[in-house]
Amino acid sequence: MAKELLKKTNQNNMKLAKALPDEMGGFMKLHDAALEEGALDPKTKELIALGISIAIKCEPCIVSHMDSLIALGVSKEEIEETIGVAFFMGGGPAVAYGGKALSAYEELKK
């Protein structure tokens, strides 16, 4: 399910890039700037983004950031701790999306 959602999200983003090149170009510039190396490394920034994605209940965001985190070499323990912080910040609904995040990690890691 996570792989399908990631594929569909990427396809939708490509459609948006064609339909709204200035807006999506601006968003991608923000994306790249927010995640570049600085006082925090990119993996830490992606973990923050994952936690926020869980707390705000954005499933496409969860799988997108999870895919990036796997490429950055995240451990299952780092994912689990990030989910725990998202529980704290997002309450009960974050529990449901935390489960989705852990499932996405397990599926995308294969």
How many Å is the Cα radius of gyration of the chain? 14
Give the tens place of pLDDT for each residue, 12-43: 999 999 999 999 999 999 999 999 999 999 99
Scan for tokens 């294969």, then name that residue: 110
Average of pLDDT values for 62-67? 97
**Cβ–Cβ under 8 Å, residues 46 and 35:** yes
Q: What is the CATH number of the domain that holds 101?
A: 1.20.1290.10
The pLDDT, as a whole number, for residue 60 is 97
The pLDDT, as a whole number, for residue 91 is 92
Burial class for 103, CB neighbours closer than 10 Å (0-12, 13-18, 19+): middle
Q: How many distinct structural domains can be found in the chain?
A: 1
Give the tens place of pLDDT for each residue, 75-103: 999 999 999 999 999 999 999 999 999 99
Domain with 29 in it: 2-34+41-109
